[in-house]
Chains A and B, each alone.
Chain A
Amino acid sequence: MASNVANFILLLAIFSSFISNLFFFKKKYSHSIKFFNYSSLLVIFSFCLLVYFFCTSNFSISAVYENSHTLKPFFYKLAGTWGNHEGSLLLFVTIIAGFGSLFSYLFRKEEMYHFKSWVIFFQNNIYLIFLIFLISTSNPFDMIVPHPQEGLGLNPILQDPLLVLHPPFLYLGYVGFSLTLSLVLSGLVLRQLDNNWASIVWPWVMIAWVFLSIGICLGSIWAYYELGWGGYWFWDPVENASLMPWLAATALIHSLLVLKTKNQMRNWTSLLAILTFSFSLLGTFLVRSGVLNSVHAFANDPERGVFILIIIFVITLASFIIHSIYSSRTISIGNNFFFSKESFLNINNLFLLFFLFVVLIGTIYPIILSIFNETISIGPVYYNTILAPFVFIFLLAMSVGPLLKWSNKINLSYFGFLFVTFSISLCLSILIIILTNQNQLALFLGLLTSLVLILTIIFEFVKNKLFLKAYYYPRVLSHLGVGILLLSIFLNGFYSESKDFEIQLGENKEFNNLSLKFVNQDIYKINNYLEMKTDFEISKDNQIFTLKPSVRRYFQPVQITSETSIQPTILSNHYLAVNFPNQNENVLGARYYFNFFIHGIWLGMFLIVVGGMFSAFKKRN
């Protein structure tokens, strides 16, 4: 019964989406928009139904049966809705529809009604393709007969509050860029890609960008606290899949800036907008098709993979063809002056796309080689080596760029200004290097360039009294965030320490100026898992604290998860993870991390996101 109702609603949604297309071709634009909105409401309603089924543990629905359990806390029942392929795809479709409807509701320029109907038309078709895919291959409302009494449960590693929020934010970001695509395609077709268009697009790009950034940050924080590997970013292909659209979108934002103020770079900006959504789709493909063997990958199903691939092929190819047909070769208004804002925004795009390209190659290359029966692994070392030198130059360019003026106007005041910040940073980084006795060029350059960026922004902020001008907040905050983030990454990378050791109950270990004592061990059996809780007493510099890491072994499905214990101090984290003892020994393996400056990483991410929020919601002038 429940299943039939839900399926009927989905069919109705498809039907009304078709009608919307029909009206569009008959040039009845207001009807077309109306029917798109009907369809969108129906899909949103069906998503609510699925949430309801999960919350009430309605096991006659297969997705609920496979991913939920009556004993689960309410919060995780709710999260089960998007913790599986079918449910998350429904969320995906719902968000496409939601963004379309939100746009049709908020965009009320009567003189651009034609433009609006084109946007809805494109959005409707992206939505329709995914909706058909949903119903034909991964219908979340499939019925199970007879009705089972109990569900199979949710993957234990997914039972974490951060991970409940991580996917919806990521999708809001990924899928939010579908509206950017619709906007750019309409702009191309109607030949309205100009500064006016750029200011219409701006908030929508920023919103999606903010959501994507939050999603990535949540994933990173989760990895740090839950995986027990002491790190926050692993260059895992699935992480890369979310980083690629983020880099593309960041480049897009900067080139939109040029389009908005100078009415230049139309073709390039539209190309970037298409690329951004293409990379979102590529990410979706990588995660869902089973080409990756990764921590986060969903269940492997090549048939679904083929479908997704065809969809992505159609959407991206169509977009690129539209772009090549309608892009007009603009006569670029020459500006010979290197030290201008435009040229530095160009340089920004060059670097961001280079980073994107490195991540793309690193992610795709092993997959492509696997066709030829060759296996290679690409890990952090590759990315760090190839990216680091470029990141340093990027940071310097980032310090200079915002100080420059548009076009040919020369602004000489920044020279002295930069000289001061550069000298201070130079002294500071040399001091740090000498005091800590870490003579490494990479650390030195990293410290120098990130300090230059941070100090330049702070000086500019104070000197030009930018705190009085809300207009500058987004840029200042997010650039400062990038500076702090990278500074912390360098510090964390070079000053963190870790120690692997084996320890028995009551034993005491000493390393550096830290002593660690294993004082207590308890083993509990809780309905679905066995948990070993441990207490460690740690003393360092006359400070004593207790860390209580634990480790769980889930029985169904069998999986070991680690609950790390972290003691934060002002500048660093003491991080401890334990593992079950090996066969017939009382000795258990533990790993201690001294994570330096990890707070800075979270702070940097936070500032980047807040900057984006300011920009998304600031009043348009």
Chain B
Amino acid sequence: MKYFFIFLLIFCNIVFADSKEKRTNEITKNLKCLVCQGQSVYESNSDFAIDIKNFVKQEIVKNKTDEEIYEFLKDKYGQNIIFNPTFTLSNSALWIVPILFFVIGSILVFRRMSAK
């Protein structure tokens, strides 16, 4: 089980620092185009999405971190602009419940296998 968590941590921390454009793309893919239906900012061509894309590009040029950019946008537009919700009390269930599900499930499976 320990290894799953290590995996998970590694995944959350993968830093895409290759190029500025790649970073812009990664960030805008993670932002919801709030005026569109089911599109990310990256995919959309609406005025709203174009503004946000420009904004993210500028902030990256200014050497802002991803967190700073997300925080700013969250402050202005609310939590739902980010596709990957930040870890808060009401969101914690999103991560805890599936992991709990897996743990309980594996206990049941292993008990089943060793049951006489």
**Interfacial residues, chain A to chain B (CB-CB below 8 A):** 229-231, 234, 236-237, 293-295, 332, 334-336, 338, 342-343, 346-347, 349-350, 353-354, 357-358, 361-362, 365-366, 369, 372, 374-382, 385-386, 388-390, 392-393, 440-442, 498, 500, 579, 589, 591
Contact = CB atoms under 8 A, between A and B. Distances in A.
A24 B3 CA distance: 56
B94 A361 contact: yes
B102 A350 contact: yes
A442 B11 contact: yes
Contacts of B53: 500
Contacts of A591: 45
A382 B83 contact: yes
A358 B99 CA distance: 9
A385 B83 contact: no
Interface centre among B39, B45, B97 (most CB of A within 10 A): B45
A234 B38 contact: yes
Instruction: Provide the main secondary structure of the chain B interface.
Output: helix
Interface in B49-97: 50, 53, 78-85, 90-91, 93-95, 97
A336 B113 CA distance: 6
A52 B102 CA distance: 51
A346 B109 contact: yes
Interface in B7-22: 7-8, 10-12, 14
A389 B37 contact: no
Contacts of A349: 109
Nearest to A591: B45
A377 B32 contact: yes
Nearest to B78: A375
A386 B98 contact: yes
Given A354-B98, A379-B30, A381-B29, 5 more contacts: A230-B43, A237-B38, A380-B83, A386-B8, A390-B4
Contacts of A385: 8, 11-12, 84
Nearest to A237: B38
Contact of B94 (A294, A342, A350, A365): A365
B38 A295 contact: yes
Contacts of A589: 45, 50
Contacts of A347: 109
A379 B40 contact: yes
B112 interface: yes
B14 A441 contact: yes
B114 A336 contact: yes
A398 B30 CA distance: 31
Contacts of B37: 293-295
Nearest to B88: A376
Given A377-B85, A379-B30, A382-B85, A361 B97 contact: yes
A95 B16 CA distance: 48
Contacts of B4: 389-390, 393
Interface centre among A237, A336, A372, A382 (most CB of B within 10 A): A382
A389 B14 CA distance: 13
Given A380-B29, A390-B4, A334 B116 contact: yes
Contact of B10 (A294, A336, A441): A441
Interface residues of B, number: 44
Nearest to B83: A379
Nearest to B95: A386
A397 B82 CA distance: 34
A484 B79 CA distance: 37
Given A336-B113, A353-B105, A381-B30, A442 B14 contact: yes
19 contacts: A229-B43, A336-B116, A342-B113, A350-B105, A350-B109, A357-B97, A365-B94, A374-B79, A376-B91, A377-B32, A377-B80, A377-B81, A378-B83, A379-B30, A379-B40, A388-B11, A389-B11, A440-B14, A442-B14
A388 B116 CA distance: 34
Contact of B114 (A334, A354, A389, A579): A334
The 7 closest A-B pairs by CB, nearest first: A379-B83, A389-B7, A381-B84, A334-B116, A375-B80, A229-B43, A377-B32
Nearest to B22: A497
Contacts of A230: 43
A362 B95 CA distance: 10
B94 to A, nearest CB: 6
A591 B50 CA distance: 13
A338 B29 contact: no
Contacts of B114: 334, 336
B15 to A, nearest CB: 10
A346 B43 contact: no
B40 A376 contact: no
Nearest to A365: B94
B10 A236 contact: no
B77 to A, nearest CB: 10
Contacts of B30: 379, 381
Contacts of A332: 112, 115
B18 to A, nearest CB: 9
A87 B90 CA distance: 40
Contacts of A338: 113
Contacts of B115: 332, 334
B94 A362 contact: yes
A242 B90 CA distance: 27
B11 A377 contact: no
B49 to A, nearest CB: 10
A498 B83 contact: no
A441 B15 CA distance: 11
Contact of B25 (A237, A372, A441, A498): A498
